[in-house]
Chains A and B, each alone.
Chain A
Amino acid sequence: MRLEVDITGKTFRSAAGETHAVLAPLRFALQSGEVGVLIGPSGCGKSTMLRIILGLDRDFEGRVARPPEARIGMVFQEPRLLPWRSVEDNVRLAAPAVSDAKLAELFRILELEAHRSHFPGELSLGLARRVALARAFAVEPDLLVLDEPLASLDDALAGRLREEIATLVANRSAMTLLVTHSLEDAIRLGDRLFFLSPRPARIVQEVPIAIPRARRGESELRRIRAELAALPLESK
């Protein structure tokens, strides 16, 4: 399975009637089993790009090719849970085919077992984020999209959740697209990094990371960081 993105332009008309370019021409592709990371300054148009890729926004120029039968799992910036359904129902409604065993495993990895019957309003943001992760993984997605899943969490929690995401991603051969502005997330989770310019976004540089994710220890990560620091990037 393969995701091909070839956007030639996207403009946005403001209430005052002015036209703004949100996205410059950009193209990239992603294979099954690959984790692509989009890194860019906030407000550069990443979320717009995701909406186009997900098919939520059809008002753009260009082409996005993803297999029509591809199942999508998405973690939005805000958890977007149904407040009137329990944690378990939230996951099951998005993923009706999930087996009890699979669900139990997800809840164990994400430490949600104690919260199955809680309502989202009773959860902290960190927990709600995990439910959103559980929901995205429960559909066994072919295309997994994570939009800043760790934003506004404290460092310790973000670090642990990052480990959990790494575990979950490693077990699957999905195409994964991670949007972040954290270089740390990018080098720990990604196979290929796409650095984006400020608005209108275009890909400034594509950086593949050769070392497989599972074999990146602290020394490898240090080396990757040093290599990235040597690159002349405008968006770090």
Chain B
Amino acid sequence: MLRLVSFAAFFAIWWIAALFVGGAKLPSPPAVLQVMIAEASSGALFLHLGATLARVTLAFVLAMSLGSAIGYLMGRVKLADRLGDPWLILLLNLPALVVIVLAYIWAGLTEAAAIAAIAINKLPTAVVTLREGTRALDRSLDEMASVFAMPRWRAFRHVVLPQLAPYIAAAARSGLSLVWKIVLVAELLGRPNGVGFEIGVAFQLFDTPRLLAYSLTFAAVVLVIETLLVQPFEARATRWRPRAA
């Protein structure tokens, strides 16, 4: 309920501001909605949204799985931590733009370059979070699993993974918001489709309604994915914890 009120307030402020500023700089909600409907009925909206979502999915899955594996390794093995740490610091502080531009220069304006660049930007945060999670693993439970001769996979699944789940959820959440932001830049710079590409076109034409139509649809999709996918996973991962009063 409160959420709805909050949403309504957002649209109200937008509408009032549009009346003051004028349609060229800030079009009113109905004007933007009109463009959305036009783009949706031509199919372009779904095409670009689909292209962006596909890139997000691929880059996200790649970065999460690789980042989790590396983070786990660095948390468990001291040598891996020592060797990996300088790389990690470098990657963490490398601006996203540099990675994207270099990827396009080295690998060409290709799909692989775009996805790799997005994944590389997200990778270090996943590594850091999972390394923290691995360091916080309860040794006494490891000992329990070893005394009861639990096979490796079962111990990993039932003893280790549940302890890492909150960290994985945190990495997924922060990583997803990072990927949402970077994917558009990557598309703007070197892809012939996707929401980022459309925003680039709208920018060149100073077509604000189009720009808002695409970015708001995109934001809505992000919101839906966050509430329907990420939050339930987080809730499930922490189900066993006694509820805070």
Interface residues, chain A, with chain B CB atoms under 8 Å away: 51, 54-56, 71-74, 76, 78, 80, 82-85, 89, 93-95, 119, 121-122, 135, 139
Contact = CB atoms under 8 A, between A and B. Distances in A.
A83 B242 CA distance: 10
Contact of A76 (B140, B150, B162): B140
Contact of A56 (B143, B154, B162, B239): B143
Interface of B: 140-141, 143-144, 146-150, 154, 158-159, 162, 239-242
A93 B158 contact: yes
A93 B154 contact: yes
Per DSSP, chain A at the interface is: loop
B141 A80 contact: yes
Per DSSP, chain B at the interface is: helix
Contact of B144 (A71, A76, A95, A122): A76
12 contacts: A55-B147, A72-B147, A72-B149, A74-B148, A76-B140, A80-B140, A85-B158, A89-B158, A93-B150, A119-B240, A121-B240, A135-B148
A9 B25 CA distance: 82
Given A93-B154, A121-B241, A122-B242, A82 B148 contact: no
Contacts of A135: 148
B238 to A, nearest CB: 9
A98 B162 CA distance: 23
Given A93-B154, A121-B241, A82 B141 contact: yes
A93 B144 CA distance: 11
A94 B151 CA distance: 10
B147 A74 contact: yes
A72 B158 contact: no
A201 B150 CA distance: 31
Given A72-B148, A84-B240, A78 B162 contact: no
A132 B192 CA distance: 61
Given A74-B148, A80-B143, 5 more contacts: A72-B149, A80-B144, A84-B162, A94-B148, A121-B242
A89 B240 CA distance: 13
A80 B140 CA distance: 7
A210 to B, nearest CB: 32
Contact of A82 (B146, B147, B159): B159
A82 B140 contact: no
A176 B162 CA distance: 32
Given A56-B146, A119-B240, A78 B158 contact: no
Contacts of A56: 143, 146-147
Nearest to B155: A93
B147 A54 contact: yes
Contacts of B147: 54-56, 72, 74
B236 to A, nearest CB: 10
Nearest to A85: B158
Nearest to A135: B148
Contacts of A95: 148
